[in-house]
Amino acid sequence: MDLQQLNPMQRKAAETLNGPLLIIAGAGSGKTRTMTYRIANLLSRGVPPFAILALTFTNKAAREMKNRVTALAGSAADEAWIGTFHSICVRILRRDIEKLGYKRSFVIYDEDDQNHVLRDIYRDLDIDDKRFPPREARAVISDAKNRLLTADEWFAESAKDWRSQKLHDIFVAYERKLRASEALDFDDLISHTLQLLVDHPPVLQYYRNRFQYVHVDEYQDTNFAQYSLVRLLTEESRNLCVVGDDDQSIYGWRGADIRNILDFQKDFPDAQIIKLEQNYRSTSNILDAANQVIANNEGRMDKVLWTELGEGEKIKLCSAGDEREEAAWICERIRRMQQRKVPYSEIAILYRTHAQSRVLEEMFMRAGIPYRVYGGTRFYDRREIRDVVAYLRLIINPLDEVALKRIINVPKRSIGDATVNALETYAKEKDMPLFSALSDMPDTLSSRPRKCVGEFVGIINRLTAVQETMPLTDFVQLLLEETGLIAVDEASNDEEALARRENVMEFVGAVREFEEQHEDATLASFLENVALVTDLDRQEDAPQFVTLMTLHSAKGLEFDAVFMAGLEDGLLPSNRSQDDEDRLQEERRLCYVGMTRAKKFLCMSWAKRRSLFNQISYNDRSRFLGEIPAKLMSDDWARTMNKHFGEREDTQFTVRHTPAKPPKSNFGIPGMGQNADHIPGVHKGFVKPRPKRAADAPTFKAGDRVLHRKFGEGTVRQVEGGHNDGRVTVMFTAYGEKKFSVSIAPIVKLE
């Protein structure tokens, strides 16, 4: 095994094969790469692949690691278990979950399914969703499960007031519903695996014997349940290698516990600790800036990070008037990067919340920049796709009530809510699953609904009967026809129906692809694959798109050019973190994660005025920008605007929605005029609008680069008319073509 591709410390880590090992290091120091080489090294020394377990944060990371290990150590790697916590747990559960009283064909409920379950519970228990937002209930349940608490245990440690009582009722009902539907949510996947191992010693012993070498990447973001699982599996072998960076712990809000990595030495006093210090990803300007920001956090592990990649370019800063100006600036910079041969696939735009993508998307579309939103409305979240999937789920597991209720009247077959309610009540009375009530209908049901329900059951039964006798793709096609799902959309010809039809066809394509890739493809394994494709994994591998994603989903990735948008106090750091030191530190880590994704170019932007979530706010620049030494940044946008149009004025914005705080410093950024810098809420006007008289109206010619006060930079396409009444047509990167009168438009020629 050739470990020459590693530096001495990395090599040491890849060669330390026995005993607990902690690799702790800053971003881009090759932690993931080292872990990959370590696995390949184990294989090359004859460790059987099935003895190796590696847990990654996303399926994508797992796929990449697997490919890499295969490239290094050959196809033996195929048998090593490399996957996310969730996917590995599913594998364990599929084998033995019957020991917990579940069927092996259990289904996995995602957020949307959970919401359906909660909706029913709220109705049954007569709970007001304004007072108990389902989101909150979900968070309580998830948090409890991550801490391995049952509903009762959770209640015992709650405030035990009326509110907790209600949440407890919801929790209990939720668990009952999932159980009755043979369904597990994502948190259950981990906690049930733990339960299986704890309650069934032979199973535990099997996996302990089997997994002689366990690896965890991004260990700083494990929660208690995940941590417990890892501890349990490795207690005997003690061959555990964890890799992480305390400065990149960003999932505290989802139960991740940074102490897991900080206390690793306490858990394993004999642990070897290896620190990596050389960063291979970013230029020194980027790295220094990120280091300076994170230095403001407390309680960090001591770390050094340096690079040999040279200074590189300064960080480009854009202080924009509003979010549209910000987006236009980003478009313009992307255009320039294209000229410098940075491929779209090496460009990412990172933001704090999903909602920020809308304006960026609009501008990108206009500017003709191809993009993909990572984790937006997922393909599998689209209504028509969820309908097909619900049918498939029901066929595998008739107890899946969420699926059944979703499609019993899709496409419309005259089974109204009243009928469904009657059936539900009847099922409850008789203590039988809803699907059974469909065959054994109550006498009270009149003949028409009886007939419709009968037909529906007929379809499902017919499909169930042929399911195992047909190739998967053929079966799905048959299902689309039999159920009438395709026919409905064929009948109508509007755009939406067309898009739906395309999506359904795309789905059939996905089934086919799955079948081609997996020799032993079954409906169950396909559905499992669908359920486990989380939004973190929706990044298309196609090379020709810029990527838009939240800072959270960017973890572990790297790009030549990174844009971080919306660096405002109130957005990053988020509003909720402003008065909470722990949260503020997590936001700072998030900022650090974002900055360290960049290899060569880092561009950061903020807008004084932003409309988001249908609200307008006036913000200060993020305090994190203030933590970056001025010498590492250049705000050429503000400089250019100031030079040509004078300083921006603030007078017309006396009414503010969010009171802005006084700035903390002026950051010494060249070109940021004191006034412009200090005025919160400026965006449109300028103190000294340049008089535009015919006499000094500039002369333009096609091809000239120009700057417009509102539309930003563009290229002159056409000039018409004489000197005084001339008109120019300009192509703006982000706004498309516009026509102006030269004598009055706020437009100047750029050198």
Query: Which residues of this chain interact with Mg ion, rule CB under 5 A?
Result: 31-32, 556
Amino acid at 225: A
- Is 701 considered catalytic here? no
- Is 248 considered catalytic here? yes
Among ligand ATP, Mg ion, none, residue 10 binds (CB under 5-8 Å by kind):
ligand ATP
- Write down the least CB distance from residue 265 to Mg ion, Å: 21
CA distance linking residue 338 with residue 335, whole number of Å? 5
Instruction: Using CB under 6 A, pick the residue from 13, 33, 547, 624 that binds ligand ATP.
Output: 33
Report if residue 291 touches ligand ATP, rule: CB under 6 A: no
Q: At what angle do helices 523-532 and 85-96 cross, to 10 degrees?
A: 150
Q: Which helix (H) or strand (E) segment is 452 a member of?
A: helix 447-467
Report if residue 7 touches ligand ATP, rule: CB under 6 A: yes
- Is 160 considered catalytic here? no
Instruction: Using CB under 6 A, pick the residue from 49, 398, 556, 566 that binds ligand ATP.
Output: 556
- Write down the least CB distance from residue 34 to Mg ion, Å: 9
Contact 315, 528 (CB under 8 A): no
Q: Which is nearer to ligand ATP, 7 or 525 (CB)?
A: 7
Residues 316-355 as x/- pattern, contact with ligand ATP by CB under 6 A: ----------------------------------------
Report if residue 600 touches ligand ATP, rule: CB under 6 A: no
Report if residue 566 touches ligand ATP, rule: CB under 6 A: no
Return the number of other C-beta atoms located less than 10 Å from residue 48's C-beta.
13
Report if residue 32 touches ligand ATP, rule: CB under 6 A: yes
The three-class DSSP label of residue 238 is coil
- Write down the least CB distance from residue 614 to ligand ATP, Å: 35
Set 32, 56, 473, 539: catalytic member: 32
Instruction: Using CB under 6 A, pick the residue from 9, 10, 41, 570 that binds ligand ATP.
Output: 10
- Is 323 considered catalytic here? no
- The residue of the chain with the least Cβ separation from ligand ATP equals 30
Alpha helices by DSSP H, 581-626: 581-595, 623-626
- Write down the least CB distance from residue 240 to ligand ATP, Å: 18
- Write down the least CB distance from residue 597 to Mg ion, Å: 11
Set 33, 386, 501, 597: catalytic member: 597
- Write down the least CB distance from residue 60 to Mg ion, Å: 12
Six-digit token string for 450? 């009886």
Q: Which is nearer to ligand ATP, 250 or 420 (CB)?
A: 250
Among ligand ATP, Mg ion, none, residue 113 binds (CB under 5-8 Å by kind):
none
Alpha-carbon dihedral angle through residues 425, 430, 431, 433, given to the nearest 10 degrees: -70
Contact 570, 578 (CB under 8 A): yes
Among ligand ATP, Mg ion, none, residue 379 binds (CB under 5-8 Å by kind):
none
- Write down the least CB distance from residue 602 to ligand ATP, Å: 14
Nearest CA among 218, 252, 253, 214 for reference residue 234? 214
Q: Which is nearer to ligand ATP, 107 or 242 (CB)?
A: 242
Among ligand ATP, Mg ion, none, residue 28 binds (CB under 5-8 Å by kind):
ligand ATP
The three-class DSSP label of residue 307 is strand
- Is 217 considered catalytic here? yes
Report if residue 49 touches ligand ATP, rule: CB under 6 A: no
- Write down the least CB distance from residue 66 to Mg ion, Å: 15
Six-digit token string for 648? 């921006």
The set of residues, in sequence order, having a beta carbon less than 8 Å from that of 547 and lying 6+ positions away, is 345, 347, 348, 349, 371, 372, 374, 539, 559
Q: Which is nearer to ligand ATP, 132 or 264 (CB)?
A: 264
Report if residue 594 touches ligand ATP, rule: CB under 6 A: no
- Is 477 considered catalytic here? no
At residue 312, φ and ψ (nearest 5 deg) are: 75, -165
Nearest CA among 512, 505, 509, 459 for reference residue 486? 505
Contact 559, 597 (CB under 8 A): yes
Set 10, 31, 188, 623: catalytic member: 31
Among ligand ATP, Mg ion, none, residue 27 binds (CB under 5-8 Å by kind):
ligand ATP
Set 248, 307, 547, 550: catalytic member: 248
Alpha helices by DSSP H, 468-537: 472-483, 485-491, 495-517, 523-532
Instruction: Using CB under 6 A, pick the residue from 245, 586, 587, 647 that binds ligand ATP.
Output: 245
Return the number of other C-beta atoms located less than 10 Å from residue 187's C-beta.
21
Contact 289, 628 (CB under 8 A): yes
Among Mg ion, ligand ATP, none, residue 356 binds (CB under 5-8 Å by kind):
none
Report if residue 28 touches ligand ATP, rule: CB under 6 A: yes
The three-class DSSP label of residue 720 is strand
Q: Is the peptide bond before 269 cis (omega within 30 degrees of 0)?
A: no
Nearest CA among 290, 288, 283 for reference residue 310? 283
Q: Which is nearer to ligand ATP, 25 or 80 (CB)?
A: 25
Contact 93, 189 (CB under 8 A): yes
At residue 347, φ and ψ (nearest 5 deg) are: -120, 130
- Write down the least CB distance from residue 545 to ligand ATP, Å: 20
Radius of gyration of the chain (CA): 29
CA angle at residue 733 from 672 to 321, to 5 degrees? 30
Q: Which is nearer to ligand ATP, 245 or 401 (CB)?
A: 245
Which residues contribute to the site for ligand ATP (CB under 6 A)?
6-7, 10, 25, 27-33, 245, 248, 280-281, 556, 558
Q: Which residues are catalytic?
A: 31-32, 217-218, 248, 597
